[in-house]
């Protein structure tokens, strides 16, 4: 039998390795930014075109590379950061994957320019699909510039699986945030299609978070700080009243590397127990520093998941640290049953001595004395009012002028006969005859504040009130958007809501559709949106939740066509403002939902294809007996 095992050609092996390293343009951005940071850069510039599909360029002012290093950097398993297998468990750098640049070069056109400070000229290398096209001497500033063009140009199948530009750009910005937040001392700039998206000056951790997520973030942050032998915990958590319905602003960093950990996230949530509204999640930016030998960061290809030696101790420390900070800054309530807040001494009275009160008494005052003469009181009681008791001769005087002998029953009867009483005749009913009869024979009921039960000829219908209302609102919002005929209710005072730059960009994209649903926008700045009118189907308190959920829905499934965007908008709005389970509805509201549901074009399912009602026929009920 002939041999069947064979060695793969280098270009095929490189493309397979690229599949592990480069999943999308954001993966390239992550690798190049981390390499620039390891090169001791103080300024990093990221340039993106068409969400990275056409161009990803990273420019830094780091130490640069020599001619030999520049050529070797594109070889597989070539790295400057590991020399032995033991180094894998003592990593203090970021981009240690030896095949990163080799994998990127295998699936794109790569152009590298680099120069060390002591050299007069630099090196320029162009690579196309793992093959070096040219290597020349060039004039370039100190540092390194890497351009990655036409990603996946030689693997069309991989390119076809990329999402829309909006989705890919969101992933790139996420990676940019994760790198920028752990290196606040480095200046970062991000440009997309020639326009500036972020310009982050060098600052501390708190200022960097504010620069990324907007100026309003500063008042939301509560600092946490704890130093132990096992771990050092620093960073910030947001106050409970600013909790969001999405998990967007949740960041864990271990040794300056972004990670995801459901276990540690549960520890943060338990620290906020009892402080958050239902279905909301706290925002946090937590930096953990541990011994590199106590963690294993090689359990996940993208290094976003790591393994700790002692997770239980870390969980307990994180939970207690956050609880302590929330209590220290008076965010969480203090349970002290022996403490009376009315006895607290204000700060301005802390150093003052107690003063003895002065009491003045009118010693000559006699409450049983009928007449008091002016001036009879002592001089010390001049400030008091002189009370004079009116004398009443005797109790008989109260009945003077009354002669009971003159009053007879007949005269009393005659007196009352002249009094006219208001007519008590029933002039009408609150409902007319048909309405009164329908109320007496009511056929629609609410069960457990969740279901609506109504009768039909063949039996009965059980309607899920939340899902039914979603369907009704969905078709109403969809009709308003497509016909641009929505009615808006004007607010007496404009509503001002704060969002991050990325969220503002998303709102601007859907502004026209939102205005067709009834929203009226005022000024939109980089961090704030002014709203002067809202749809009639929603209330002012629901607007922030509605827009927050809408932004989250758009980020998670950004549509490409206008129709699907309209559909997503209608689904998000109807899901946010539909009547919830547990709400007690009046009879008229129940009847309105029933009538509106069966007037819909598709009453049987919600916008998410979940059933809105079930039917029980008389035969089905008979079978139960």
Per residue in 350-401, pLDDT (tens digit) is: 667 777 878 888 888 888 876 545 444 444 444 444 545 555 556 666 666 6
- Quick one: average pLDDT of 474-488? 79
Give the percent of the chain with pLDDT over 70: 76
- What pLDDT does residue 321 have? 92
Confidence of residue 237 (pLDDT cuts 50, 70, 90): very high
* CATH 3.30.230.10 domain position(s) in the chain: 213-328
Question: Are the C-beta atoms of residues 295 and 314 closer than 8 Å to each other?
Answer: no
The rounded distance, in Å, linking the Cα atoms of 555 and 509 is 12
Identify the residue with better confidence: 235 or 535.
235
- Mean pLDDT for the chain overall: 80
Confidence of residue 436 (pLDDT cuts 50, 70, 90): very low
- What pLDDT does residue 85 have? 59
- What pLDDT does residue 380 have? 46
Q: CATH classification of 445-615 is 3.40.250.10, yes or no?
A: no
Identify the residue with better confidence: 542 or 152.
152
SS3 491: strand
* CATH 3.30.565.10 domain position(s) in the chain: 10-200
Task: Name the pTM for this structure.
Answer: 0.68
- What pLDDT does residue 430 have? 41
The rounded distance, in Å, linking the Cα atoms of 67 and 539 is 65
Give the percent of the chain with pLDDT over 90: 24
Question: Can you point out the beta strands (E) in 108-186?
Answer: 109-115, 122-128, 131-138, 143-149
Architecture of domain 10-200: 2-Layer Sandwich (3.30)
Among 177, 182, 184, CA closest to 198: 177
> Of the segments 166-170, 338-342, 548-552, 597-601, which one has the largest average pLDDT value?
597-601
Render pLDDT for 396-419 as a digit per residue (tens, 0 to 9): 666 666 655 555 555 555 555 566
First to last CA, the chain: 73
Identify the residue with better confidence: 549 or 321.
321
SS3 169: helix
Q: How far is CA 467 from the centre of its chain?
A: 24
- What pLDDT does residue 268 have? 92
For the record, the structure tokens of 301 come out as: 């290809």
- What pLDDT does residue 439 have? 43
- What pLDDT does residue 208 have? 92
For domain 213-328, give the CATH number.
3.30.230.10
In DSSP terms, which residues pair with 234 in a beta bridge? 225, 287
Identify the residue with better confidence: 322 or 387.
322
Q: Is 103 left (phi over 0), alpha (psi -120 to 50) or beta?
A: alpha
- Beta-strand pair 250-254/284-289: parallel
- Beta-strand pair 122-128/109-115: antiparallel
CB within 8 A of 356, min separation 6: which ones?
none
Among 263, 270, 217, 255, CA closest to 500: 217
* CATH 3.30.1370.100 domain position(s) in the chain: 445-615
**Largest alpha-carbon pair distance within the chain?**
142
Among 545, 563, 565, CA closest to 555: 565
Backbone angles phi, psi at 295, to 5 degrees: -130, 155
- Quick one: average pLDDT of 467-494? 84
3-state secondary structure string, 527-567? CEEEEEEEECCCCHHHHHHHHHHHHHHHHHCCCCCHHHHHH
């Amino acid at each position: 039998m002939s041999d069947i095992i064979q060695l793969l050609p280098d270009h095929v092996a490189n493309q397979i390795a690229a599949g592990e390293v480069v999943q999308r343009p954001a993966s390239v951005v992550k690798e190049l930014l981390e390499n620039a940071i390891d090169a001791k850069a103080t300024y990093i510039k990221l340039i993106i075109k068409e969400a990275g599909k056409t161009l990803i360029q990273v420019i830094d002012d780091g130490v640069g590379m020599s001619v030999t290093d520049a050529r070797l950097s594109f070889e597989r398993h070539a790295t400057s950061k590991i020399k032995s297998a033991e180094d894998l468990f003592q990593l203090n750098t970021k981009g240690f994957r030896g095949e990163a640049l080799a994998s990127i070069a295998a699936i794109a056109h790569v152009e590298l320019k680099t120069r060390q400070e002591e050299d007069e000229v630099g090196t320029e290398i162009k690579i196309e699909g793992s093959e070096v096209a040219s290597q020349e001497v060039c004039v370039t500033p100190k540092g390194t510039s890497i351009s990655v063009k036409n990603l996946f140009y030689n693997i069309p199948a991989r390119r076809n699986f990329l999402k829309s530009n909006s989705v890919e750009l969101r992933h790139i910005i996420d990676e940019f945030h994760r790198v920028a937040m752990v290196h606040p001392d480095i200046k970062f700039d991000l440009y997309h299609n020639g326009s500036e998206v972020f310009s982050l000056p060098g600052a501390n951790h708190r200022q960097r978070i504010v620069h990324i997520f907007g100026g309003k973030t500063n008042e939301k942050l509560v600092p946490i700080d704890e130093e132990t032998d096992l771990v050092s915990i620093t960073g910030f958590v947001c106050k409970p009243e600013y909790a969001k319905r999405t998990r967007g602003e949740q960041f864990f960093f271990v040794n300056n590397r972004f990670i995801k950990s459901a276990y540690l996230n549960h520890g943060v949530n338990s620290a906020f127990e009892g402080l958050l509204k239902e279905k909301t999640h706290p925002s946090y930016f937590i930096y953990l520093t541990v011994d590199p030998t106590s963690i294993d960061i090689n359990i996940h290809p993208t290094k976003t998941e790591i393994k700790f030696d002692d997770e239980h101790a870390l969980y307990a420390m994180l939970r207690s640290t956050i609880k302590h900070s929330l209590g220290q800054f008076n965010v969480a309530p203090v349970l002290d049953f022996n403490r009376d807040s009315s006895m607290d001494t204000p700060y301005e009275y802390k150093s003052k001595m107690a003063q003895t009160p002065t009491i003045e008494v009118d010693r000559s005052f006699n409450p049983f004395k009928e007449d008091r003469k002016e001036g009879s009181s002592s001089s010390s009681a001049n400030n008091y009012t002189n009370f004079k008791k009116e004398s009443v001769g005797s109790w008989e005087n109260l009945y003077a002028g009354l002669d009971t002998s003159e009053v007879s029953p007949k005269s009393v009867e005659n007196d009352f006969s002249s009094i006219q009483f208001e007519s008590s005749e029933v002039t009408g009913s609150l409902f007319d005859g048909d309405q009164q009869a329908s109320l007496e024979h009511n056929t629609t009921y609410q069960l457990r504040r969740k279901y609506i039960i109504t009768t039909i000829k063949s039996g009965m219908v059980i309607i899920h009130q939340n899902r039914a209302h979603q369907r009704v609102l969905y078709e109403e919002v969809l009709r308003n958007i497509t016909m641009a005929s929505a009615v808006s209710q004007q607010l007496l005072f404009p509503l001002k809501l704060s969002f991050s730059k990325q969220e503002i960009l998303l709102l601007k994209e859907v502004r026209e559709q939102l205005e067709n649903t009834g929203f009226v926008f005022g000024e939109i700045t980089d961090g704030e949106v002014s709203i002067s009118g809202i749809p009639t189907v929603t209330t002012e308190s629901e607007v922030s939740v509605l827009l927050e959920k809408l932004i989250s829905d758009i980020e998670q499934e950004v549509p490409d066509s206008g129709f699907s965007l309209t559909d997503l908008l209608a689904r998000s709005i109807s899901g946010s403002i539909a009547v919830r389970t547990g709400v007690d509805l009046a009879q008229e509201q129940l009847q309105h939902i029933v009538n509106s549901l069966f007037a819909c074009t598709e009453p049987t399912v919600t916008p998410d294809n979940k059933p809105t009602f079930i039917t029980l026929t008389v035969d089905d009920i008979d079978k139960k007996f």
